[in-house]
Structure 1
Protein backbone atom coordinates (compact mmCIF):
# COMPACT_ATOMS: atom_id res chain seq x y z
CA UNK A 1 0.00 0.00 0.00
CA UNK A 2 1.49 3.33 -1.05
CA UNK A 3 1.47 6.44 1.11
CA UNK A 4 1.22 10.01 -0.21
CA UNK A 5 4.10 11.09 2.06
CA UNK A 6 7.56 9.54 2.09
CA UNK A 7 9.84 10.09 5.09
CA UNK A 8 13.58 9.51 4.88
CA UNK A 9 16.10 10.20 7.65
CA UNK A 10 19.86 10.20 7.15
CA UNK A 11 22.72 12.00 8.90
CA UNK A 12 20.43 13.96 11.24
CA UNK A 13 18.33 15.35 8.35
CA UNK A 14 14.80 14.19 7.51
CA UNK A 15 13.22 14.65 4.10
CA UNK A 16 9.42 14.77 4.05
CA UNK A 17 8.45 14.20 0.43
CA UNK A 18 4.91 14.65 -0.84
CA UNK A 19 4.30 11.76 -3.22
CA UNK A 20 0.84 12.00 -4.77
CA UNK A 21 1.51 12.90 -8.41
CA UNK A 22 0.87 14.83 -10.46
CA UNK A 23 -0.01 17.75 -8.16
CA UNK A 24 0.35 16.45 -4.59
CA UNK A 25 -3.20 17.56 -3.81
CA UNK A 26 -4.22 17.79 -0.17
CA UNK A 27 -6.99 15.36 0.65
CA UNK A 28 -7.76 13.43 3.81
CA UNK A 29 -5.15 10.78 3.02
CA UNK A 30 -2.44 13.41 2.54
CA UNK A 31 -3.42 15.17 5.77
CA UNK A 32 -3.21 11.96 7.78
CA UNK A 33 0.11 10.96 6.22
CA UNK A 34 1.57 14.38 7.02
CA UNK A 35 0.30 14.11 10.59
CA UNK A 36 2.01 10.74 10.93
CA UNK A 37 5.25 12.18 9.57
CA UNK A 38 5.07 15.11 11.99
CA UNK A 39 4.53 12.73 14.92
CA UNK A 40 7.59 10.70 13.90
CA UNK A 41 9.74 13.82 13.67
CA UNK A 42 8.51 15.16 17.00
CA UNK A 43 9.50 11.90 18.70
CA UNK A 44 12.96 11.50 17.15
CA UNK A 45 15.77 13.41 18.96
CA UNK A 46 18.17 12.25 16.26
CA UNK A 47 16.54 14.56 13.69
CA UNK A 48 18.24 17.97 13.72
CA UNK A 49 16.74 19.48 10.54
CA UNK A 50 13.87 18.79 8.12
CA UNK A 51 13.42 19.34 4.39
CA UNK A 52 9.91 19.61 2.90
CA UNK A 53 9.86 18.57 -0.77
CA UNK A 54 7.23 17.79 -3.37
CA UNK A 55 9.45 16.27 -6.03
CA UNK A 56 11.13 17.83 -9.06
CA UNK A 57 7.95 18.90 -10.87
CA UNK A 58 5.57 20.29 -8.27
CA UNK A 59 5.63 21.14 -4.56
CA UNK A 60 1.86 21.02 -4.08
CA UNK A 61 -0.93 22.67 -6.02
CA UNK A 62 -3.46 22.88 -3.18
CA UNK A 63 -6.47 21.03 -1.89
CA UNK A 64 -8.43 18.33 -3.68
CA UNK A 65 -11.23 20.54 -5.01
CA UNK A 66 -13.53 17.59 -5.77
CA UNK A 67 -13.41 16.63 -2.11
CA UNK A 68 -13.92 20.22 -0.94
CA UNK A 69 -16.87 20.74 -3.28
CA UNK A 70 -18.73 17.90 -1.58
CA UNK A 71 -18.29 19.34 1.93
CA UNK A 72 -20.88 21.17 3.96
CA UNK A 73 -20.27 23.38 7.00
CA UNK A 74 -19.78 20.56 9.49
CA UNK A 75 -17.53 18.61 7.13
CA UNK A 76 -15.20 21.50 6.37
CA UNK A 77 -15.00 22.59 10.00
CA UNK A 78 -13.50 19.29 11.13
CA UNK A 79 -11.43 18.69 8.01
CA UNK A 80 -9.90 22.16 8.00
CA UNK A 81 -9.14 22.03 11.72
CA UNK A 82 -7.22 18.79 11.22
CA UNK A 83 -5.22 20.16 8.28
CA UNK A 84 -4.48 23.43 10.07
CA UNK A 85 -3.30 21.56 13.15
CA UNK A 86 -1.11 19.27 11.02
CA UNK A 87 0.57 22.24 9.31
CA UNK A 88 1.10 23.92 12.68
CA UNK A 89 2.93 20.82 13.92
CA UNK A 90 5.51 21.34 11.18
CA UNK A 91 5.82 25.03 12.06
CA UNK A 92 6.39 24.11 15.71
CA UNK A 93 8.98 21.38 15.19
CA UNK A 94 11.92 22.19 17.51
CA UNK A 95 14.39 21.99 14.61
CA UNK A 96 14.92 24.08 11.46
CA UNK A 97 12.60 23.26 8.56
CA UNK A 98 13.60 24.10 4.97
CA UNK A 99 11.08 23.94 2.11
CA UNK A 100 12.38 23.08 -1.37
CA UNK A 101 9.79 24.60 -3.72
CA UNK A 102 9.52 23.40 -7.32
CA UNK A 103 6.77 24.03 -9.84
CA UNK A 104 3.54 25.11 -8.19
CA UNK A 105 3.09 25.90 -4.50
CA UNK A 106 -0.52 27.05 -4.50
CA UNK A 107 -3.19 27.18 -1.84
CA UNK A 108 -2.44 24.55 0.77
CA UNK A 109 0.89 23.90 -0.94
CA UNK A 110 2.04 27.44 -0.26
CA UNK A 111 0.59 27.27 3.24
CA UNK A 112 2.69 24.18 3.96
CA UNK A 113 5.78 25.92 2.57
CA UNK A 114 5.04 28.89 4.84
CA UNK A 115 5.38 26.63 7.90
CA UNK A 116 9.07 26.23 7.10
CA UNK A 117 11.74 28.44 8.62
CA UNK A 118 13.35 28.87 5.20
CA UNK A 119 12.13 28.48 1.62
CA UNK A 120 14.37 27.78 -1.38
CA UNK A 121 12.57 27.92 -4.72
CA UNK A 122 13.30 27.00 -8.30
CA UNK A 123 13.65 29.97 -10.65
CA UNK A 124 10.48 28.90 -12.47
CA UNK A 125 8.45 28.15 -9.33
CA UNK A 126 5.05 29.79 -8.91
CA UNK A 127 3.46 30.50 -5.53
CA UNK A 128 0.08 31.85 -4.53
CA UNK A 129 -3.05 31.67 -2.41
CA UNK A 130 -5.87 31.58 -4.99
CA UNK A 131 -8.65 30.42 -2.67
CA UNK A 132 -10.64 33.62 -3.22
CA UNK A 133 -11.24 32.49 -6.81
CA UNK A 134 -13.20 29.56 -5.33
CA UNK A 135 -15.22 31.86 -3.10
CA UNK A 136 -13.30 30.87 0.04
CA UNK A 137 -10.15 31.97 1.90
CA UNK A 138 -6.85 30.31 2.83
CA UNK A 139 -7.66 28.14 5.83
CA UNK A 140 -4.42 26.41 6.82
CA UNK A 141 -2.40 29.33 8.11
CA UNK A 142 -2.06 31.44 4.99
CA UNK A 143 -3.83 34.54 6.30
CA UNK A 144 -1.55 34.56 9.35
CA UNK A 145 1.84 33.37 8.14
CA UNK A 146 1.88 35.32 4.87
CA UNK A 147 0.93 38.52 6.70
CA UNK A 148 3.82 38.10 9.10
CA UNK A 149 6.19 37.76 6.15
CA UNK A 150 5.07 40.54 3.82
CA UNK A 151 2.89 42.86 5.90
CA UNK A 152 -0.85 43.52 5.91
CA UNK A 153 -1.26 45.42 2.67
CA UNK A 154 0.70 43.08 0.42
CA UNK A 155 -0.81 39.98 2.06
CA UNK A 156 -4.32 41.32 1.47
CA UNK A 157 -3.50 42.16 -2.15
CA UNK A 158 -2.14 38.69 -2.88
CA UNK A 159 -5.03 36.89 -1.18
CA UNK A 160 -7.84 39.17 -2.41
CA UNK A 161 -6.73 38.88 -6.05
CA UNK A 162 -5.57 35.27 -5.76
CA UNK A 163 -2.85 36.02 -8.28
CA UNK A 164 0.09 33.72 -8.85
CA UNK A 165 3.49 35.03 -7.79
CA UNK A 166 6.55 34.12 -9.87
CA UNK A 167 9.68 33.04 -8.01
CA UNK A 168 11.64 36.27 -8.48
CA UNK A 169 8.80 38.39 -7.10
CA UNK A 170 8.40 35.92 -4.22
CA UNK A 171 12.09 36.41 -3.47
CA UNK A 172 11.79 40.20 -3.65
CA UNK A 173 8.82 40.11 -1.27
CA UNK A 174 10.57 37.81 1.20
CA UNK A 175 8.18 34.90 0.67
CA UNK A 176 11.14 32.77 -0.36
CA UNK A 177 14.69 33.23 0.87
CA UNK A 178 16.71 31.99 -2.07
CA UNK A 179 16.40 30.78 -5.66
CA UNK A 180 18.34 27.74 -6.84
CA UNK A 181 18.65 25.64 -9.98
CA UNK A 182 18.07 22.55 -7.85
CA UNK A 183 16.06 23.62 -4.79
CA UNK A 184 16.15 20.19 -3.18
CA UNK A 185 19.93 19.88 -3.29
CA UNK A 186 20.27 23.44 -2.02
CA UNK A 187 17.77 22.79 0.78
CA UNK A 188 19.42 19.52 1.71
CA UNK A 189 22.86 21.15 1.86
CA UNK A 190 21.55 23.98 4.03
CA UNK A 191 19.72 21.51 6.28
CA UNK A 192 22.94 19.55 6.81
CA UNK A 193 24.74 22.78 7.69
CA UNK A 194 22.08 23.59 10.28
CA UNK A 195 21.99 20.01 11.58
CA UNK A 196 25.70 20.19 12.37
CA UNK A 197 25.11 23.07 14.78
CA UNK A 198 24.14 22.97 18.47
CA UNK A 199 20.62 21.55 18.51
CA UNK A 200 19.42 23.25 21.68
CA UNK A 201 20.77 26.70 20.81
CA UNK A 202 19.16 26.53 17.37
CA UNK A 203 15.90 25.35 18.96
CA UNK A 204 16.07 28.30 21.38
CA UNK A 205 16.62 30.78 18.54
CA UNK A 206 13.57 29.40 16.71
CA UNK A 207 11.46 29.61 19.85
CA UNK A 208 12.62 33.13 20.73
CA UNK A 209 11.88 34.48 17.26
CA UNK A 210 8.62 32.63 16.58
CA UNK A 211 7.09 33.21 20.01
CA UNK A 212 8.67 36.56 20.75
CA UNK A 213 7.48 38.29 17.57
CA UNK A 214 3.93 38.59 18.90
CA UNK A 215 4.95 39.69 22.42
CA UNK A 216 5.62 43.19 23.66
CA UNK A 217 9.37 43.86 23.66
CA UNK A 218 9.57 43.34 27.43
CA UNK A 219 7.95 39.92 27.10
CA UNK A 220 10.26 38.98 24.26
CA UNK A 221 13.31 39.99 26.27
CA UNK A 222 12.07 37.95 29.24
CA UNK A 223 11.67 34.92 26.96
CA UNK A 224 15.18 35.48 25.62
CA UNK A 225 16.63 35.64 29.15
CA UNK A 226 14.91 32.40 30.10
CA UNK A 227 16.14 30.60 27.01
CA UNK A 228 19.77 31.67 27.29
CA UNK A 229 19.84 30.69 30.96
CA UNK A 230 18.55 27.23 30.11
CA UNK A 231 21.29 26.73 27.51
CA UNK A 232 23.91 26.97 30.24
CA UNK A 233 22.73 23.54 31.40
CA UNK A 234 23.44 21.85 28.04
CA UNK A 235 26.39 19.82 26.82
CA UNK A 236 26.39 21.89 23.64
CA UNK A 237 27.16 25.02 25.68
CA UNK A 238 30.09 23.20 27.34
CA UNK A 239 31.35 21.93 23.99
CA UNK A 240 31.08 25.29 22.24
CA UNK A 241 32.79 27.35 24.92
CA UNK A 242 35.54 24.80 25.60
CA UNK A 243 36.30 24.63 21.88
CA UNK A 244 36.42 28.42 21.60
CA UNK A 245 38.84 28.72 24.49
CA UNK A 246 41.11 25.97 23.15
CA UNK A 247 40.91 26.42 19.39
CA UNK A 248 39.16 29.71 18.63
CA UNK A 249 35.76 30.35 17.01
CA UNK A 250 34.06 28.01 14.59
CA UNK A 251 35.88 24.79 15.55
CA UNK A 252 33.32 23.08 17.78
CA UNK A 253 31.78 19.74 16.78
CA UNK A 254 28.43 19.26 18.38
CA UNK A 255 27.12 15.81 19.18
CA UNK A 256 23.71 14.27 19.64
CA UNK A 257 21.69 15.30 22.70
CA UNK A 258 21.92 13.08 25.73
Structure 2
Protein backbone atom coordinates (compact mmCIF):
# COMPACT_ATOMS: atom_id res chain seq x y z
CA UNK A 1 0.00 0.00 0.00
CA UNK A 2 1.20 3.51 -0.85
CA UNK A 3 2.73 5.69 1.88
CA UNK A 4 0.68 8.82 2.67
CA UNK A 5 1.30 12.16 4.37
CA UNK A 6 -2.26 13.31 5.08
CA UNK A 7 -4.11 10.06 5.69
CA UNK A 8 -3.40 6.79 7.49
CA UNK A 9 -4.20 3.34 6.16
CA UNK A 10 -4.39 0.45 8.62
CA UNK A 11 -5.92 -2.99 8.42
CA UNK A 12 -7.47 -5.23 11.04
CA UNK A 13 -7.77 -8.61 9.35
CA UNK A 14 -10.28 -8.00 6.51
CA UNK A 15 -11.24 -4.52 7.73
CA UNK A 16 -9.45 -1.46 6.37
CA UNK A 17 -9.39 1.72 8.45
CA UNK A 18 -8.67 4.96 6.58
CA UNK A 19 -8.08 7.97 8.83
CA UNK A 20 -7.81 11.53 7.55
CA UNK A 21 -4.87 12.71 9.62
CA UNK A 22 -4.72 16.50 9.67
CA UNK A 23 -6.06 17.23 13.17
CA UNK A 24 -4.30 20.61 13.33
CA UNK A 25 -6.65 21.82 10.55
CA UNK A 26 -9.63 19.75 11.74
CA UNK A 27 -8.85 17.30 8.92
CA UNK A 28 -9.78 19.85 6.24
CA UNK A 29 -9.60 18.59 2.66
CA UNK A 30 -6.87 20.22 0.61
CA UNK A 31 -5.65 19.12 -2.82
CA UNK A 32 -3.05 16.69 -1.49
CA UNK A 33 -5.47 15.02 0.93
CA UNK A 34 -8.07 14.52 -1.80
CA UNK A 35 -5.46 13.02 -4.11
CA UNK A 36 -4.31 10.62 -1.41
CA UNK A 37 -7.90 9.56 -0.63
CA UNK A 38 -8.53 8.87 -4.30
CA UNK A 39 -5.41 6.72 -4.67
CA UNK A 40 -6.11 4.91 -1.40
CA UNK A 41 -9.69 3.95 -2.28
CA UNK A 42 -8.74 2.91 -5.79
CA UNK A 43 -6.12 0.56 -4.33
CA UNK A 44 -8.54 -0.73 -1.70
CA UNK A 45 -11.16 -1.52 -4.32
CA UNK A 46 -8.76 -3.94 -6.04
CA UNK A 47 -7.72 -5.66 -2.80
CA UNK A 48 -10.10 -8.60 -2.55
CA UNK A 49 -8.69 -9.60 0.85
CA UNK A 50 -10.44 -6.53 2.32
CA UNK A 51 -14.15 -6.88 2.98
CA UNK A 52 -15.18 -3.55 4.56
CA UNK A 53 -13.65 -0.07 4.92
CA UNK A 54 -14.09 2.27 7.89
CA UNK A 55 -13.40 5.95 7.13
CA UNK A 56 -12.84 8.37 10.00
CA UNK A 57 -10.93 11.47 11.08
CA UNK A 58 -8.03 11.91 13.49
CA UNK A 59 -8.68 13.41 16.90
CA UNK A 60 -11.92 13.95 18.79
CA UNK A 61 -13.07 17.23 17.26
CA UNK A 62 -13.60 16.56 13.59
CA UNK A 63 -14.34 13.91 11.02
CA UNK A 64 -13.63 16.51 8.34
CA UNK A 65 -14.46 20.16 9.02
CA UNK A 66 -14.72 20.90 5.29
CA UNK A 67 -12.57 21.76 2.34
CA UNK A 68 -9.53 23.90 3.11
CA UNK A 69 -10.81 27.49 2.79
CA UNK A 70 -7.33 29.01 2.81
CA UNK A 71 -6.55 26.80 -0.19
CA UNK A 72 -9.75 27.78 -2.04
CA UNK A 73 -9.92 31.51 -1.30
CA UNK A 74 -7.94 32.81 -4.27
CA UNK A 75 -9.23 30.36 -6.89
CA UNK A 76 -10.79 31.59 -10.11
CA UNK A 77 -13.81 29.96 -11.79
CA UNK A 78 -11.71 27.47 -13.77
CA UNK A 79 -9.65 26.48 -10.75
CA UNK A 80 -12.82 26.15 -8.66
CA UNK A 81 -14.36 23.79 -11.20
CA UNK A 82 -11.17 21.73 -11.37
CA UNK A 83 -11.13 21.43 -7.56
CA UNK A 84 -14.78 20.33 -7.60
CA UNK A 85 -14.04 17.70 -10.27
CA UNK A 86 -11.26 16.33 -8.06
CA UNK A 87 -13.62 16.19 -5.10
CA UNK A 88 -16.25 14.41 -7.19
CA UNK A 89 -13.69 11.85 -8.36
CA UNK A 90 -12.81 11.10 -4.72
CA UNK A 91 -16.45 10.65 -3.74
CA UNK A 92 -17.00 8.37 -6.71
CA UNK A 93 -13.95 6.28 -5.78
CA UNK A 94 -15.58 5.71 -2.38
CA UNK A 95 -19.03 5.07 -3.84
CA UNK A 96 -17.63 2.74 -6.51
CA UNK A 97 -15.31 0.81 -4.19
CA UNK A 98 -16.15 -2.88 -4.30
CA UNK A 99 -16.35 -2.96 -0.49
CA UNK A 100 -18.98 -1.32 1.72
CA UNK A 101 -17.62 1.85 3.33
CA UNK A 102 -18.66 2.88 6.85
CA UNK A 103 -18.16 6.50 7.92
CA UNK A 104 -17.22 6.79 11.59
CA UNK A 105 -18.15 10.45 12.11
CA UNK A 106 -16.26 11.57 15.20
CA UNK A 107 -17.00 15.31 15.29
CA UNK A 108 -17.55 18.05 12.72
CA UNK A 109 -18.66 16.83 9.29
CA UNK A 110 -19.18 20.11 7.50
CA UNK A 111 -19.09 21.01 3.81
CA UNK A 112 -16.76 18.57 2.11
CA UNK A 113 -16.76 16.50 5.30
CA UNK A 114 -20.51 16.02 5.15
CA UNK A 115 -20.18 15.21 1.44
CA UNK A 116 -17.50 12.64 2.27
CA UNK A 117 -19.85 10.96 4.74
CA UNK A 118 -22.67 11.06 2.16
CA UNK A 119 -20.51 9.08 -0.28
CA UNK A 120 -20.19 6.23 2.23
CA UNK A 121 -22.67 3.36 2.43
CA UNK A 122 -23.31 3.58 6.17
CA UNK A 123 -22.84 6.50 8.58
CA UNK A 124 -22.28 6.00 12.31
CA UNK A 125 -22.07 9.23 14.33
CA UNK A 126 -20.65 9.97 17.76
CA UNK A 127 -22.80 12.00 20.12
CA UNK A 128 -20.59 15.06 19.56
CA UNK A 129 -20.88 14.93 15.76
CA UNK A 130 -22.18 17.95 13.85
CA UNK A 131 -23.34 17.96 10.24
CA UNK A 132 -23.97 20.72 7.73
CA UNK A 133 -23.42 22.22 4.31
CA UNK A 134 -22.59 25.82 5.25
CA UNK A 135 -21.13 26.77 1.86
CA UNK A 136 -23.71 29.55 1.25
CA UNK A 137 -22.07 31.43 4.15
CA UNK A 138 -18.92 31.56 2.01
CA UNK A 139 -20.63 32.65 -1.20
CA UNK A 140 -20.44 29.22 -2.82
CA UNK A 141 -22.47 26.01 -3.06
CA UNK A 142 -21.42 22.45 -2.17
CA UNK A 143 -19.06 21.22 -4.86
CA UNK A 144 -18.37 17.59 -3.96
CA UNK A 145 -21.88 16.18 -4.47
CA UNK A 146 -23.81 17.70 -1.56
CA UNK A 147 -26.59 19.16 -3.71
CA UNK A 148 -27.16 15.72 -5.24
CA UNK A 149 -26.53 13.09 -2.56
CA UNK A 150 -28.16 14.92 0.35
CA UNK A 151 -31.61 15.22 -1.32
CA UNK A 152 -31.41 11.57 -2.37
CA UNK A 153 -30.74 10.55 1.22
CA UNK A 154 -33.01 12.79 3.32
CA UNK A 155 -35.48 14.11 0.76
CA UNK A 156 -35.58 17.31 -1.29
CA UNK A 157 -37.37 19.49 1.26
CA UNK A 158 -35.12 18.81 4.24
CA UNK A 159 -32.01 18.92 2.07
CA UNK A 160 -33.06 22.24 0.53
CA UNK A 161 -33.52 23.78 3.97
CA UNK A 162 -30.07 22.63 5.10
CA UNK A 163 -28.44 23.74 1.85
CA UNK A 164 -30.16 27.16 1.71
CA UNK A 165 -29.73 28.08 5.38
CA UNK A 166 -26.30 26.58 5.95
CA UNK A 167 -27.59 25.33 9.31
CA UNK A 168 -25.46 22.91 11.32
CA UNK A 169 -27.32 20.06 13.01
CA UNK A 170 -26.33 17.74 15.83
CA UNK A 171 -26.19 13.96 15.69
CA UNK A 172 -29.70 13.55 17.18
CA UNK A 173 -31.25 15.61 14.39
CA UNK A 174 -29.05 13.87 11.82
CA UNK A 175 -30.45 10.54 13.01
CA UNK A 176 -34.03 11.87 12.98
CA UNK A 177 -33.84 12.93 9.32
CA UNK A 178 -32.08 9.74 8.24
CA UNK A 179 -28.67 11.24 7.59
CA UNK A 180 -26.97 8.76 9.93
CA UNK A 181 -27.73 5.13 10.81
CA UNK A 182 -26.81 5.24 14.50
CA UNK A 183 -25.54 7.59 17.20
CA UNK A 184 -23.15 6.21 19.81
CA UNK A 185 -20.81 7.64 22.48
CA UNK A 186 -17.49 8.80 21.07
CA UNK A 187 -15.53 6.12 22.93
CA UNK A 188 -17.73 3.43 21.32
CA UNK A 189 -17.61 4.79 17.77
CA UNK A 190 -14.81 2.71 16.26
CA UNK A 191 -15.89 -0.38 18.18
CA UNK A 192 -19.39 0.00 16.71
CA UNK A 193 -18.06 0.57 13.19
CA UNK A 194 -15.81 -2.49 13.42
CA UNK A 195 -18.62 -4.59 14.88
CA UNK A 196 -20.81 -3.77 11.87
CA UNK A 197 -17.86 -4.44 9.56
CA UNK A 198 -17.25 -7.83 11.16
CA UNK A 199 -20.91 -8.77 10.75
CA UNK A 200 -20.78 -7.80 7.07
CA UNK A 201 -17.55 -9.77 6.65
CA UNK A 202 -19.27 -12.90 7.97
CA UNK A 203 -21.62 -12.89 4.98
CA UNK A 204 -21.00 -13.95 1.38
CA UNK A 205 -18.30 -11.64 -0.05
CA UNK A 206 -19.68 -12.02 -3.56
CA UNK A 207 -23.24 -11.29 -2.46
CA UNK A 208 -22.11 -8.16 -0.58
CA UNK A 209 -20.20 -6.90 -3.62
CA UNK A 210 -23.15 -7.50 -5.96
CA UNK A 211 -25.56 -5.98 -3.44
CA UNK A 212 -23.52 -2.77 -3.18
CA UNK A 213 -23.30 -2.31 -6.96
CA UNK A 214 -27.01 -3.10 -7.35
CA UNK A 215 -28.00 -0.51 -4.76
CA UNK A 216 -25.72 2.15 -6.22
CA UNK A 217 -26.55 1.60 -9.88
CA UNK A 218 -30.23 0.93 -9.29
CA UNK A 219 -30.66 4.25 -7.48
CA UNK A 220 -29.74 6.00 -10.74
CA UNK A 221 -32.61 4.30 -12.63
CA UNK A 222 -36.39 4.47 -12.63
CA UNK A 223 -38.04 1.70 -10.61
CA UNK A 224 -38.96 -0.47 -13.60
CA UNK A 225 -35.41 -0.50 -15.00
CA UNK A 226 -33.97 -0.91 -11.51
CA UNK A 227 -36.08 -3.98 -10.85
CA UNK A 228 -34.99 -5.52 -14.16
CA UNK A 229 -31.38 -4.76 -13.25
CA UNK A 230 -31.84 -6.37 -9.83
CA UNK A 231 -33.21 -9.53 -11.44
CA UNK A 232 -30.13 -9.82 -13.64
CA UNK A 233 -27.82 -9.26 -10.66
CA UNK A 234 -29.81 -11.80 -8.64
CA UNK A 235 -29.20 -14.32 -11.39
CA UNK A 236 -25.46 -13.63 -11.30
CA UNK A 237 -25.40 -14.85 -7.70
CA UNK A 238 -26.24 -18.34 -8.92
CA UNK A 239 -22.97 -18.49 -10.84
CA UNK A 240 -20.98 -18.51 -7.59
CA UNK A 241 -19.86 -21.11 -5.07
CA UNK A 242 -21.18 -18.83 -2.32
CA UNK A 243 -24.77 -19.45 -3.41
CA UNK A 244 -24.29 -23.21 -3.32
CA UNK A 245 -22.58 -23.09 0.07
CA UNK A 246 -25.06 -20.62 1.57
CA UNK A 247 -28.15 -22.57 0.56
CA UNK A 248 -26.61 -25.95 1.38
CA UNK A 249 -25.59 -24.71 4.83
CA UNK A 250 -29.10 -23.40 5.43
CA UNK A 251 -30.68 -26.73 4.50
CA UNK A 252 -28.12 -28.62 6.60
CA UNK A 253 -28.76 -26.25 9.54
CA UNK A 254 -25.13 -25.23 9.92
CA UNK A 255 -23.18 -21.95 9.56
CA UNK A 256 -22.08 -21.22 5.99
CA UNK A 257 -18.36 -21.26 5.25
CA UNK A 258 -17.91 -18.72 2.50
CA UNK A 259 -14.70 -18.42 0.49
CA UNK A 260 -12.87 -15.26 1.53
Q: TM-score range by the shorter chain?
A: over 0.9
Distance of 2:4 and 2:251 partners within structure 1: 52
Moved more, 208-217 or 145-154: 208-217
- How far did residue 216 of structure 1 move? 2.1
The residue aligned with 2:151 is 147
CA distance, structure 2, for counterparts of residue 80 and residue 110 of structure 1 = 15
Does structure 1 residue 232 correspond to structure 2 residue 235?
A: no
Contact persistence 2:27–2:58 (CA under 8 A): no
Q: Does 1:220 align with 2:222?
A: no
TM-score (norm 1): 0.95
**Distance in 2 (alpha carbons) for counterparts of 1:243 and 1:106:** 45
Alignment partner, residue 110 of structure 1? 114
Q: Which one of the candidate residues 23, 28, 32 is aligned to 2:31?
A: 28
1: CA distance, partners of 2:59 / 2:242: 36
1:163-216 alpha-carbon deviations (Å, 9 max, x no partner): 101000000000001011121211111111111211111122222222212322
Among candidates 233, 255, 258, match of residue 259 of structure 2: 255
Question: What is the alpha-carbon root mean square deviation over aligned residues?
Answer: 1.3
CA contact (8 A) 2:45 2:99 kept: no
TM superposition score normalised by structure 2: 0.94
Aligned to 2:54: 51
Q: Deviations over 1:131-169 (max 9, x none)?
A: 010010011011111101111111010011001010000
Mapped partners of 1:87, 1:24: distance in 2: 16
Question: In the aligned structure 2, how far is the partner of 1:18 from the partner of 1:101?
Answer: 11
In structure 1, how many angstroms separate the alpha carbons of the residues matched to 2:50 and 2:23? Answer: 27
Within a 5 Å distance, the mapping from 1:122-137 to structure 2 comes to: 122-137=126-141
Is 1:162 matched with 2:149? no
> How far apart are the structure 2 equivalents of 1:15 and 1:150?
27
Please give the secondary structure, in 1, of the residue aligned with 2:11: strand
Distance 1:39 1:2 in 2: 14
| Number of the residue aligned with 1:198 | 204
The whole-number CA distance in structure 2 between the counterparts of 1:99 and 1:154 is 21
Looking at structure 2, the residues matched to 56 and 179 of structure 1 have their Cα atoms a distance apart, in angstroms, of: 18
Q: How much has 1:99 moved relative to structure 2?
A: 0.5
The answer for unaligned runs of 5 or more in structure 2 is none
Q: How many residues align?
A: 254
Consecutive unaligned residues in structure 1, runs of 5 or more: none
The equivalent of 1:10 in structure 2 is 12
2 CA distance for matches of 1:67 and 1:55? 20
